[in-house]
Amino acid sequence: MLKFKQSERQLDVVLGDRVIYTLDPYKPAPIEIGKGENSYSMSHGSFKIKEKLECRTRVKIVSVSSEDIRAEVETNYGKLIVEIEDDRRLKVTPEGFEGYNRMWITLPSSADEYVYGSGEIFSEFNLKGKRANVWVAEHINALQIGKKLIKQVFGIKNSKRSQAFSKYETYYAQPTFISSKKYFFHSLTTARAELDFTADDKTVVTTDEINAFYIGFGKNFPELMNNLTDILGRQPELPDWVYDGHILGIQGGTDIMMSKIDTALKHNIPVNGAWIQDWEGRRVTAVGKQLFWNWQWDEELYPGLDEKIKELGEKGIKVLGYINPFLAVEKPLYKEASEKGYTVKNKDGEDYYVTITTFPAAMIDLTNPDAWEWIKDIIKKNMIGLGLAGWMADFGEYLPTDCVLFSGEDPELVHNTWPARWAQVNREAVDEAGKLGDIMFFTRAGYSNTPRYSTMMWCGDNHTDFSIDFGLPSVIPAMLSLSCCGFGLSHSDVGGYTSFFNLKRSEELYMRWCEMNAFTPVLRGHEGLNPDLNAQHDASEKVLEHNAKMAQLHKSLKPYIKDAVKENAENGLAVIRPLFFHYDEKEAFTEAHEFLLGRDILVAPVIRPNALTREVYLPKDEWVHLWSGKEYKGGKHTVSSPLGEPPVFVRKNADVLNIINK
C-alpha cells in the first residue's frame, strides 16, 4: 500500500513499511528539463533521427506538501503533482515548465536489476545495459536485408545478432518497462522517448515532450501486470473458433483456396480458417507477390467467394482477409478518398505518397473524422458484410513527420499513436457491427492504447530462417516483451514471411515453427512474400502429417488456452509468459528463448537448424516431459527433440496433462 509521509522538510513515498523515495529540497530532484528539436528522414518505414539539443538543466525542488493521496512538489520551473491511485501506483503530472520540450526522469537502479519492455523487442529480452529508442518503425529495413544477402553470397551463418542493439527498430514501441524489483514505469508521452538502462545505479527516461508518467508496484508479477493493464487496457477474449485447429495461409484464388483446404482435411488437419490476404487483389513486384490495397472483394481472382464463405462456415471453417491504412493509387477507393480530402497531405497540399517496397501508396488521414468513418464503413460493408471472420490489420508505422494532417496536429507527436488509432478504427467497426467475440483481427504495429483496442498481435514480417534476430528465435523475446508491456495475446506467422533469393523456407523450418505456434493462442500460417520459394503446409506428406499432429494438439489445448485468455482479459496476465512471472530465480530472469503457456506448460522451441536435442532450463518445480512422460526436477537438462517432439514440459499434477493425454 502506497502512502505519503510528510515531515517538516521532506516528503517520503512509502510502500508498505519501506521508504522507496524521498523528495527533499536539499537533495537533487529526479527531473531535468530542456529544449531541443529533431530532424527525421524516413525510407521504407525506417527512420534516421538527429537531435539538436539547445539546453538541459536540473530542476530544483523549492517545497513539498501533501494531503492524503495527493502531493505537490514546487520547483523553480513548475510544479509536479504526485497522486496515489488505487493504493498501488503513482501518477506524476508536470504543470508549468513553459518553453521546454524535453524531460529526463532518473530512477534508482542496481547492477542486479533486470528490465524488460520498451515495446516489442526481437533481438534481446533483458534490456539492462541497453538503451532503447521508443519510436514506431519498420522492424526490418533495406540495409539489414542487404547485409543478409551479402552473408548468403559468402555462406555466412546468422547464428549471432547482425548489428548493435541501437540499430534495431521495432513495429511496436511503447514508453513502458517492468523491473525485476517488481515495479513498472509508463509514460503518457506520444513523442519519441528513450529508455536508458546502461548505468548500474540508475535508469534514465528521456521524453521529447513534458508529460505525465506512472510508476506502479506489485507484490508479485501477476499483481504488477494487473496494475499496469489497469492503465493500458486489456484485450477481450478471443472467438471460440480460433482454437479449433490451424488457420491456413492461402492465396491465389477461389479454386486454389478450396483445393488446399480439401488436401488439409484429407490429411486429418483440423482446419478452422483460411486466411486469404489477397481477397482484394494481388500485384506481382520485383520483391514478390504483394497485394493491391483496394479494400473491395476482387471477384475476378475470387469468384463466388461470398458463397464459399457460407459453405465453409457450415463446416466450421472461417475465412479471413487483410487490410491496412494505405490505398493503392491505381484503384477506385484511392480516387474517392483523394477527391473527398481523406488522405494525408504533403506541405504543398498534395496527397502524400509513401514508398512501401517498390510502389507508392497514399495514407488515409485518421485525424479526419469523416475519413475515419469512411474507412470504418468500408470495413463493416466490404469485409464484415462479405462474411470475413477476421483479418490482418497491417502496418501503422509509416506516418512521416513532415506531412500535414487534417487536425493540424504535429505529426512528430502523432506518429507513434498512428498504429493505436488504426487498431481503434478496426475495433470500432467490429463493435458497431455487433461482432466482438465472433471476429478476430490482428495487428503488427503498436503503441500505448494498442492493448486497449487490438484483439491480437502478430510478430510481423520475420525472416524464413533460424537467424537469432530476424528468424524463428526472434519471435520468442518479441512475444515475451509484448507480455511485459501489457499486451497479452500474440503469435507469429508459421514459417515466417520475408523470403528472397536463397532466403527461403525449408520444410524443417516450417515444421519447427509450427511446433512452436501450436503452443501459442493462435496457430496461423502464411505463404510468405515469395510463396514459390517456401515450403508450405502441404509441401510433402511428411509436412502434412506433422501439421496434422500439431494442429490436433493445439485444438486439444483449447480449454486450457481459453482459460489463460480469459485470465488475460480479466487481470492482464499474458497467455505467453516469461519464466520469472512465476519463478524467482536468476535463470528465469535471463531466459529469452523459453516461455510459459499459461501457468502450467513450459515450451522451449528448437531454434537451431538440424538440431535433434536442446538444452533446457527448468525452474525449481516438478515437471513432466510431454512426449515421454519422464519426470524432471529444476535445473538444466539436455532433451531429445526430434521433429514433432519439441521440448515441452507440464507441471506435475496439472489438469492440462489430462486434457492433452485424451
The residues, any chain, with a CB within 8 Å of residue 545's CB and separated by 6 or more, are 267
| Dihedral over Cα of 399, 402, 408, 409: its sign | positive
What the block records as the C-alpha cell of 73 is: 512538489
Task: Give dist(CA 172, CA 459) in Å, integer.
Answer: 9
What number of other Cβ atoms are within 10 A of residue 305's Cβ?
22
Catalytic residues: 394, 397, 461
Whole-angstrom distance, CA of residue 496 vs CA of residue 405: 35
Q: Which residues contact 144 (CB under 8 A, 6 or more apart)?
A: 162, 163, 470
Handedness of CA 251, 446, 550, 617 (dihedral sign): positive
CA distance 530 to 519: 26
Q: Which of 51, 85, 80, 56 is nearest to 68 (CA)?
A: 85
Asked if 342 and 376 count as a contact pair (C-beta separation under 8 A), the reply is no
- Label each residue of 89-145 as H, E or C: EEEEEEEECCCCCEEEEEEECCCCCCEEEEECCCCCCCCCCCEEEECECCCCCHHHH
Q: Are 310 and 384 in contact (CB under 8 A)?
A: no
Whether the Cβ atoms of residue 205 and residue 105 lie closer than 8 Å to each other: yes
Q: What is the CA radius of gyration of the chain?
A: 25
Looking at the DSSP bridge assignments, the partners of residue 404 are 345
Smallest Cα–Cα separation from 233: which of 443, 459, 419, 448?
448
Going by C-beta distance under 8 Å and a sequence separation of 6 or more, which residues neighbour residue 48? 40, 41, 42
Going by DSSP bridges, is the β-strand pair 490-491/576-577 parallel, antiparallel, or unpaired? Answer: unpaired
Per 3-state DSSP, the chain is made up of helix, strand and coil in percentages (nearest 5) of: 25, 30, 45
Tell me if 10 sits within 8 A of 29, measured CB to CB.
no
Q: Which three cell numbers stand for residue 113?
A: 536489476
The answer to whether the beta carbons of residues 306 and 387 sit under 8 Å apart is: yes
234 close to 258: Cβ distance less than 8 angstroms: no
Q: Are 574 and 521 in contact (CB under 8 A)?
A: no
